Amino acid sequence: MKTLLIIDVQNDFMPDGALPVPNGDKIVSIINEIQHKFDLVIATQDWHPEDHISFASNHKGASPFDEIEINGISQTLWPNHCVQGTKGAELHPKLNTLQCETIFRKGTDKEIDSYSAFYDNGHLKSTGLAGYLKEKGTTELFICGLAADICVYYSIRDAVKEGFNCFFIEDASEALDKKSFKKIKEDMIDMGVKIISSKLI
């Protein structure tokens, strides 16, 4: 089964959002155009409580993008974003979700961040996505969304470890840091991930 996994296409990651990804809004129409090519479509949402440990506002004297260590895990501190129940946490209003069979939410535990759609950053808790995809019979997993260098990348890493044949749809994704993303794409290729354009699906 050919599955599309749409990562975190949420208002707070749009150019006017709390944690803007450059050109994040440009991918919405591309994602809408390709959905009919898949047997299964799934989306994810960052879904943080207000007191989430990754928010700089919850650490006295800290600023967004500071790097600290929490429980032995390196943590970037972020602006408050995708807070549960807020408009910023909603999927982009123009994203077609009619074909989405389900939406997996992540980052719900206030004590640990969760970039990947599969596990939190300490690999302590599963979202259940891997089991869901395997039960559905997914053989090819196509991944896109925001941000390409963070949540998309970490999701791809875990998907490969779970044994899925992975494709990264480059023009249906945008990175927060384009410079670091060049190295990340090399890592993807080394993992056996196929980097493709939406036109080649």
Mean pLDDT per segment of 10 residues, for the chain of length 201 residues? 98 98 98 98 98 96 93 93 98 97 96 96 95 97 98 98 98 95 96 97 93
The contacts of residue 133 (CB under 8 Å, 6+ apart) are 3, 42, 141, 162, 164
The residue annotated as part of the active site, out of 82, 106, 144, 166, is: 106
Residue 158 Cα distances to 30, 71, 152, angstroms: 24, 21, 10
In the prediction, which pLDDT does 59 show? 95
User: 133 in a domain, yes or no?
Assistant: yes
pLDDT of residue 71: 85
Q: 78, 63 in Cβ contact below 8 A?
A: no
Q: How many CB atoms lie within 10 A of CB 194?
A: 14
Q: What is the pLDDT of residue 49?
A: 97
Which residue, chain included where needed, has tokens 């800290």? 62
Residue 103 included in any domain: yes
Cβ atoms < 10 Å from Cβ of 65: 10
- Catalytic pick among 82, 144, 151, 166: 151
Give the model's pLDDT for residue 100. 97
Angle between helices 153-161 and 178-190 (to 10 degrees): 10
* 125 located within any domain: yes
Residue 133 belongs to domain with CATH number: 3.40.50.850
Report whether 103 contacts 45 (CB < 8 A): yes
Whether 74 maps to a domain, the answer reads: no
Q: Is 106 a catalytic residue?
A: yes
- Catalytic site residue 113? no
The answer to the question of residue 152 being in a domain is yes
Q: Which two tokens stand for residue 133?
A: 């995809």
Specify if 12 maps to a domain. yes
Instruction: Evaluate whether residue 70 is within a structural domain.
Output: no
- Domains identified in the chain, total number: 1
Q: How far apart are CA 117 and CA 108, in angstroms?
A: 12
The Cα–Cα gap between 172 and 148 comes to: 9
Check: CB of residue 54 under 8 Å from CB of residue 83: no
Neighbours of 138 (CB within 10 A): 22
Which listed residue (8, 12, 25, 46) is catalytic? 8
Identify whether 56 is part of a domain: no
State which residues form the domain around 149: 2-49+81-200
pLDDT computed for residue 200 by the predictor:
92
